[in-house]
């Protein structure tokens, strides 16, 4: 958002107008100095409020998403903000209101080195120069490029045998899918710096564990943790976290359990509620552990929906084949109502007869430790290991 826009939105004469906006529009106030984390194009940027007591953002609520925009639609192209507050996911998505999808696709293609002119129309195939192989010695137009008629996505393939570069981009997606996968470079990631290494050390998680799990940080902000989601060694998604416990995911992240490659040949699996808990159990000697990607539900559902409609647990069905040979599943979710609800939901889907439940110990006369990382931090790795090993059968625990 530009300086002029900030000044306009902070102007006293603007405020009454904003609050008069009719139904289904809500004005959110962001205190001066606060930040909004935006995914623009292929990497995240930080937008800080400019002088003024409050910075106003107008949120239009549709049935299935919340769209963030300013009064004139000046937001950056394809802005995506996804927040997870205390386990509750909120999604804010904007495709640059008023900007045609075809223009969004063309700008994304420029980032990949494919420059399109006005002759590249949707619904037609075009032969272009491949930016990877440059057309070889013959300088041929070997790249076949196509934007589908409704402009939802564009796709391409180089037909030179020695190249074969192919991929696609989506108008509503913040990732560039060259070669069908994202990369750490395209997401703007880098190895952890001293500040975040110290943060994890305070939580008793070592550099060795962080390295093995490819935990990274955002290049443009040295305080944003990036949990990389990989399957068969390939990057399929990324979830960001601030040290103040704010979370968001890269748009286009596969619905997948975190650490899925660690249970590829496991007969016993531990499921936790967060990425840091998965790292904590590794410190206690357990690598056969995965984490759910998006927190816990508010309550237990009455009936299981059909698999195709079970969207909240799609990550579980996407990993179903990994559990086919598993004989024992240890549920080590958080010790709070949402965590217990998550354990119930997982057990119903995975089979109660092979599920076991971890009981977190008391920290004082009235309270218990909440999760694996709390136990690791205050009681040590040996105690955490013993607690997991003493898990009880799910039916007895409930």
| 317 and 297 in a common domain | yes
Residue 38: C-alpha distances to residues 48, 193, 251 (Å): 11, 22, 11
Cα–Cα distance between 184 and 392 in angstroms, integer? 40
| 219 and 281 in a common domain | no
| 393 and 263 in a common domain | yes
| 386 and 304 in a common domain | yes
What rounded mean pLDDT belongs to the chain? 75
Is 72 part of any domain?
no
| 297 and 281 in a common domain | yes
Confidence of residue 17 (pLDDT cuts 50, 70, 90): very low
| 164 and 186 in a common domain | no
Please choose, from the candidates 203, 372, 207, 211, the residue with its C-alpha nearest in 3D space to the C-alpha of residue 284: 372
Residues 22/30, Cβ–Cβ less than 8 Å: no
| 212 and 125 in a common domain | no
| 365 and 267 in a common domain | yes
Q: Which residue has the higher pLDDT, 78 or 315?
A: 315
pLDDT per position as a tens digit, 127-148: 898 888 888 888 888 888 888 8
pLDDT per position as a tens digit, 209-241: 999 999 999 987 889 999 999 988 888 889 999
Q: Which residue has the higher pLDDT, 35 or 137?
A: 137
**Domain C-terminal end among 129, 145, 170:** 170
Is 70 part of any domain?
no
| 275 and 250 in a common domain | no
Cα–Cα distance between 105 and 96 in angstroms, integer? 12
Does 199 score more than 80 pLDDT? yes
| 120 and 190 in a common domain | no
**Domain C-terminal end among 112, 146, 170:** 170
Q: Identify the domain containing residue 249 by its residue range.
A: 182-254
Is 41 part of any domain?
no
């Amino acid at each position: 958002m530009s300086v002029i826009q900030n000044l306009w939105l902070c102007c006293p004469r603007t405020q009454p107008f904003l609050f008069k906006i009719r139904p289904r529009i809500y004005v959110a106030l962001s205190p001066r100095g606060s930040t909004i984390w935006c995914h623009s194009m292929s990497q995240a940027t930080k937008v800080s409020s400019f002088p003024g007591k409050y910075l106003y953002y107008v949120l239009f609520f549709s049935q299935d998403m919340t769209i963030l925009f300013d009064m004139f639609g000046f937001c950056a192209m394809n802005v995506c903000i996804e927040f997870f507050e205390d386990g509750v996911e909120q999604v804010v998505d904007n495709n640059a209101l008023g900007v045609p999808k075809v223009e969004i696709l063309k700008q994304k293609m420029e980032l990949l080195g494919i420059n399109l002119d006005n002759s590249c129309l949707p619904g037609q195939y075009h032969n272009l120069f491949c930016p990877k192989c440059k057309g070889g010695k013959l300088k041929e137009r070997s790249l076949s490029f196509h934007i589908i008629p409704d402009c939802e996505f564009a796709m391409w393939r180089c037909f030179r045998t020695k190249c074969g570069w192919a991929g696609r981009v989506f108008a509503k997606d913040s990732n560039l899918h060259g070669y069908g996968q994202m990369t750490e470079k395209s997401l703007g990631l880098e190895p952890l710096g001293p500040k975040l290494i110290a943060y994890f050390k305070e939580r008793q998680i070592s550099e060795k564990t962080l390295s093995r799990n490819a935990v990274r940080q955002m290049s443009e902000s040295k305080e944003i943790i990036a949990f990389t989601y990989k399957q068969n060694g390939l990057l399929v998604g990324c979830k960001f976290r601030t040290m103040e416990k704010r979370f968001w995911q890269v748009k286009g992240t596969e619905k997948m359990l975190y650490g899925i490659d660690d249970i590829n040949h496991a007969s016993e699996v531990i499921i936790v509620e967060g990425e840091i808990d998965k790292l904590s159990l590794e410190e206690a000697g357990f690598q056969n552990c995965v984490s759910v990607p998006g927190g816990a539900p508010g309550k237990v559902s009455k009936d299981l929906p059909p698999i195709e409609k079970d969207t909240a647990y799609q990550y579980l069905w996407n990993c179903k084949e990994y559990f086919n040979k598993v004989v024992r599943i240890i549920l080590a979710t958080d010790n709070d109502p949402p965590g217990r609800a998550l354990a119930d939901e997982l057990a119903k889907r995975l089979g109660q007869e092979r599920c076991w439940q971890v009981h977190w110990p008391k920290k004082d006369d009235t309270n218990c430790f909440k999760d694996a990382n709390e136990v690791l931090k205050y009681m040590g790795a040996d105690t955490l290991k013993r607690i997991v090993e003493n898990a009880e059968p799910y039916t007895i625990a409930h």
